[in-house]
Every structure is written in C-alpha cells, then in structure tokens.
Copies of this chain bind each other. A is one copy, B any other.
Amino acid sequence: MVYPCLMAVDRDHVLRTAAALLTRKSTATMDEVAKAAGISRATLHRQFAGRDALVRALEALGIAECEAALDLARPDEGPATDAVRRLVRAIEPSAGLLAFLYTENQLFEGEEQNAGWTRIDDRIAALFRRGQAAGEFRIDLTPAWLTEALYGLLASGAWAVAEGRMAPKDFTHMIVELLLGGALRREEP
C-alpha cells in the first residue's frame, strides 16, 4: 500500500514557522522562510506554489484560528464582558499571525478580501452589539469600531510582546482592560 501524502503535518509545521517569522519580519524571503522551517526552498515551493499562495494559506490559517477562538469563547453565552475576555484569551496564541495579516491586508486594497474575515468581523461585532443591547457597553462607540479597535490592540500587544516591551502574561489583561474599561480610573462604587 502506498501512503501518497503525509505532507499534512509538515505543511502545518511550515505554516506555523512561516507565521512566526513573517510576524517578526514581514518582508522575509521565500529562502528565509524555508530556512526557518528547516526545509529547502524547492520543498517549500512544492508545498506552496509561490509567495502569494503562502500568504493566502497563512490567511486561511489565521481565519481558521480566529473562528476556532470564537467558537471556544462562546460569544453568545453569559455577560458580553466575560465573553470578550474569553475571546481575547483564546485568540492570544494567534495574535502574532493576526498582526501580520492585519498589516498585510492593507495590500489587498484593490481586490476583494477573503469572505472569512467578513464572517469573523460580523461575529465579533455581534458580540459587541449584544453587549450594547444588554446595557453592558456604551452605545456611542459602534460595534464596527470596537471590532477594528480590538484588532489594533491585538496587533499592538503582539508587537509589544515580540519586542520585549510587554510581558506575555500581561497580554490579555492589558488588552481587555483597556478595551473594556479604558484608561480612566473608575469612581469607587
């Protein structure tokens, strides 16, 4: 019997290595990506038709991880505040990849973006909208902007951690507290 393709595991490894590298250096060469993954450029090119295909695959990975994080966070259950905290916590391992894709997406200006992002945007925006409807969140900040801001804060946090300006363990707390509570000190109750 022939097992024609056990590249699946390798493919995932390459993808994650590439994600880690491109997060740090978004202009890394195919050669650098290959070296980082411990394979030759030829093999890299066999698995991903070209740099474009690699980025697309990373995009698909990012989308899948976001969806998985959303599923894990149960955004429809309990207080929206807690759901947001669960979401950030679940999405933390993917934050670096997300930060890369967030800036890379600026390149896709002409073309239509992957429908997966729309789905994710909608699910996150729905969470914020639910929080507004429940009276937890203020209504003068639109769900779309809160979603956008969440992406921005995730990217900022990922970079801050990557460059050693923030301790990894503070990631979730810093993002959630700023996003939800803001910088202002609350009045004592």
Contacts and interface: CB of A to CB of B under 8 A. Distances in A.
Given A141-B174, A144-B165, A26 B181 contact: no
A60 to B, nearest CB: 22
Contact of A145 (B107, B151, B155, B160): B160
A157 B142 CA distance: 13
A174 to B, nearest CB: 5
Contacts of A178: 141, 145-146, 149, 179, 182
Contact of A185 (B25, B135, B174): B135
Interface in A115-141: 128, 131, 135-141
A128 B184 CA distance: 10
